Structure 1
Amino acid sequence: MTTTVWLTIGATLLCGVLAVLGVHAWSTGRARHEALIERLDRTGPAEAPGGRRRRFRGVDRRLRRTRLGRWITLRLAVTGLDLTPGEFFVGTAAATGGLWILAHVLFAPFFGPIAGLLAVWGAFGFLDWQRNKRIEKFINQLPELSRILANATQAGLALRTALSMAAEELDAPAGEELARVSDQLAVGHSVETALGELAERLPSRELVVLVTTLVLSNRAGGTVVGSLRNLTETLEERKETRREVRTQLSQVNLTAYAVPAMGLAALLLLDRVLPGAIDRMTDSFLGQAAVVVALVLYGLGVFVIRRLSKIDV
């Protein structure tokens, strides 16, 4: 045989050996990963830090391995809720089933799937509401945070030390978020990266201004006392303005949800006055189409009212 044939055979054998070694290394690593997860599940804390016992641990363990579970985990991480993905998933499923049955009994079988979809939408809407609520609380703490950073910087402390001190003195959510920033700085992350991730988790104009001020001052190496003092006063004024705007728009926001509630009450009243009216209405295609159109119009009305009453300060 020629030299080319021997080289071809040798290269083929080498590739085969490397492929076998690669598959063996991949399977071994995967087995170790699975064993580590199982060991953590068995030896991990059965109770939450606040003392609450975790439930549905098996569901939570399986759910975290899926794309849906990872997405729910990310949504829960920015809300500050003491819930696991498994608990949220089981709670949402139970609420969906309960509302489905309730709508089936009170109204008609046609309303069961609609109530189930509304339950799922309401569960994730609740997460968005908690996230916005957490952002609002954090914004209200920004003047105090800016004041602490200004005092610490004026005393000669480094920005990393000032952030750690603020994390210890402030309550949640600012204390928790700054503690996460301090942990990232402790393991080698830059100030710009850690504060940038904070701004992504809790997006707001006020926080972006504060982060930009801190990053630029840290990059340029100048003093930030004067900038933080001025920023503290500005944040206090914006805080009061936001509070006044929210008070003025509270009646409008209440109207946005009161109108659909009145429509639902009218539907229940109609079924009580004329028993079986909803069943007869949803038996035909035209009745079902009318119900769907009415629900879409109610939803569109809520959306339009919310958009018109949304004022960015």
Structure 2
Amino acid sequence: MNHPALLALGATVLCGTLAVAGVHVYAAGRAQRQALVDRLAGGGPIRTVAGRVRRFAGIDRRLRRTRLGRAIHLRLTTTGLDLTAGEFTTYVAAVVVALWLIAATTLAPFFGPIAALVGIWGAAVFLNWQRQKRIEAFIGQLPDVARLLANATAAGLALRTALAMAAEELEAPAGEELARVADQLTLGRSVDDALDELAERLPSRELIVLVTTLVLANKAGGSVVSSLRNLTQTLEDRKETRREVRTMLSEVNATAFTVPLLGLGSLLLINSSNEGALARVTGSSLGQGLILLSLGLYTVGFFVIRRLGKIEV
């Protein structure tokens, strides 16, 4: 056997050996990683703090690697919902498919994609509504937060200790958010950065005023007790004003949602009184264009009414 043949045989044996070793190392590493995941998960299904079993863990892991998954996860953390990105995406996908089938069978096949788009838009609106609801609840607790911080500071406690004490005394969402701030301070983060992140997570004028007061007092010193007590009274007055404004605008907000529902009801009434009417209307390009135009006008009306009924306090 000549030298080139020996070299080719040796290279083949070497490549095969390296391939087998690589597969072995990969399998061992994958097994160790799975063992670590199982050990961290307690050897069973992943559960929440309340004991609920997490669903769709595999989908959540894959989704969190994407930019969309990370964006959904960040949005969910600001809403306070006990859902992962995988769970939320799976539920939304199921609702979108159901809306598509219902609209296609009840009205006409043309309305299936429109209903799916409405479902996706509704999911985004739901997240924004949950976030705004959490912000409103947090704003309602801000007078108690300022009062507790003022009392703790008057007793001689440091601001870090006062924040931790307020986190233990208050209920959610203020207790949860202040507990997150206290945990960040325990890990060595500065008071300014932790409070600034809180203001970015739950943006509101009242919280910005409170955070600015605490940051300035932490940097420059001064009578933080009197400032917090004056701020407490101001926050109480703003709380009452916001409640009165929300009560006065409740009819406007109800009208904004009633108008699109009337349009949907008219479509159902037309299709039920004359079966197949919508299918015949959407069977031509002119009919589809008119339907899209009417839906666009209803959408514009919804946003215009919502805009007219929005008052910044």
Q: Which TM class, normalised by the smaller chain length?
A: 0.7 to 0.9
Matched, 1:296 2:296: yes
* Distance in 2 of aligned mates of 1:191 and 1:183: 11
Question: Deviation digits for residues 229-262 of structure 1, max 9, x if unmatched?
Answer: 1100000000000000000000100000101101
1:69 alignment counterpart: 69
User: Which residue of structure 1 aligns with residue 192 of structure 2?
Assistant: 192
Q: Which stretch shifts more, 262-271 or 45-54?
A: 45-54
- Distance of 1:209 and 1:71 partners within structure 2: 28
Coordinate RMSD, CA, aligned: 1.7
**Within 2, Cα distance between the matches of 1:284 and 1:35?**
61
Q: What are the residue-to-residue correspondences of 1:147-186 with 2, within 5 Å?
A: 147-186=147-186
1:182-239 Cα shifts (integer Å, max 9, x gaps):
1111111111100000000000000000000000011012220110111000000000
Tell me which amino acid in the other structure corresponds to 1:175. Answer: G
1:175 Cα deviation after fit: 0.5
- Counterpart AA for 1:47: R
> Residue type of the partner of 2:105?
V
- Separation in structure 1 between the aligned mates of residue 85 and residue 31 of structure 2, nearest angstrom: 19
CA distance in 2, matches of 1:250, 1:91: 30
Q: Which deviates more, 49-58 or 237-246?
A: 49-58
Classify the secondary structure of the residue corresponding to 1:161. Answer: helix
CA distance in 2, matches of 1:84, 1:35: 25
Q: Which runs of 5+ in 2 are unaligned?
A: 1-24
Say how many residue pairs are matched. Answer: 284
TM-fit CA distance, 1:43: 3.5
* Counterpart residue number, 2:4: none
Q: Partner letter of residue 220 of structure 1?
A: A
Q: Distance in 2 between matches of 1:273 and 1:160?
A: 67
Take 1:40 and 1:177, find their aligned partners in 2: how far apart are those partners?
Answer: 28
Structure 1 residue 42 displacement after superposition: 6.2
Unaligned runs of 5+ in 1: 1-27
Quote the Cα distance in structure 1 between the aligned partners of 2:34 and 2:228: 45
Alpha-carbon shift at residue 79 of structure 1 (Å)? 0.4
Runs of 4+ in structure 1 off by over 4 angstroms are 31-38
When normalised by structure 2's length, the TM-score is: 0.88
**Structure 2 equivalent of residue 12 of structure 1:** none
Aligned residue number for residue 40 of structure 1:
37
Which letter maps to 2:199? A
Counterparts of 1:41 and 1:119, CA distance in 2: 36
Aligned equivalents of 1:63, 1:216: Cα separation in 2: 41
Offset at residue 37 of structure 1 (A):
7.7
SS at match of 1:78: helix
Aligned match of 1:115:
115
CA–CA distance in structure 2, aligned partners of residues 38 and 258 of structure 1: 54
TM-fit CA distance, 1:58: 1.2
2:252 maps to amino acid: V
d(CA) in 1 for partners of 2:171, 2:32: 38
- Name the SS for the 1:179 alignment partner: helix
